[in-house]
Amino acid sequence: MNKSFYCYLIRYSSGSLTLHLQGCSHLNEGENRIFLGSVYKDFQAMNLAKRHSYDVSTCPDCMGKYH
């Protein structure tokens, strides 16, 4: 069975949103952290993020394969 992990959106002062996964070293950056939920796959995290905004970037450290 797959292990689940948490995903978060970080809102920066510029208004931009970046998607991060549990354990990312950049989770404490930005103005606001939004918990999206528990997912099993990276693409599920992106789908949850798109519910908040279509203009979401991904963290190059924890979501590198989406770049």
Strands 5-11 and 32-39: antiparallel
Q: How many CA atoms lie within 13 A of 54 on its CB side?
A: 0
- Cα distance between residue 32 and residue 4, in whole Å: 23
Phi, psi of 16 (to 5 degrees): -75, 155
Reported pTM = 0.83
Place of tokens 């939920």: 37
Tens of each residue's pLDDT in the chain, 67 residues: 588 989 999 998 888 999 999 889 998 888 899 999 999 988 899 999 999 888 999 999 988 765 4
Domain limits, the chain: 5-66
